[in-house]
Amino acid sequence: MRRAILGIGSNLGNRILNFNNALLQLKSYGKISATSYLYETAPMYETKQPSFLNGAIILETELSPESLLHRIREIELVKDNQFLLKNNPVIREIS
């Protein structure tokens, strides 16, 4: 069993719902053994955008790091998500 520590952030739409959707999808890849509090933070660099909601989880998984990364990228690829554009607003970002 491998342990992955993942940060999750969102600053577009219903941020809580975005978190819950990400967690539901991540649960299908293993067991979420711990979660952090959620923190609201101001954006950096491109400051004319909504505040971020950020948190972290520990995911216990059988997936290889490469396979987990591929699946995480699939979660991030939701309609209108701009996580590939540096410093832009995001619906959901997992790192």
From the number of C-beta atoms within 10 Å of its C-beta (0-12, 13-18, 19+), residue 46 rates as exposed
Q: The pTM is what?
A: 0.82
Cα–Cα distance, 84 to 77 (Å, whole number):
9
Asked if 90 and 42 count as a contact pair (C-beta separation under 8 A), the reply is no
Q: Is 59 helix (H, G, I), strand (E, B) or coil?
A: strand
In the predicted model, is pLDDT for residue 11 greater than 60? yes
49-95 pLDDT, tens digit each: 899 999 999 999 999 999 999 998 888 776 555 555 555 565 556 76
The dihedrals phi and psi of 66, each to the nearest 5 degrees, come to: -65, -40
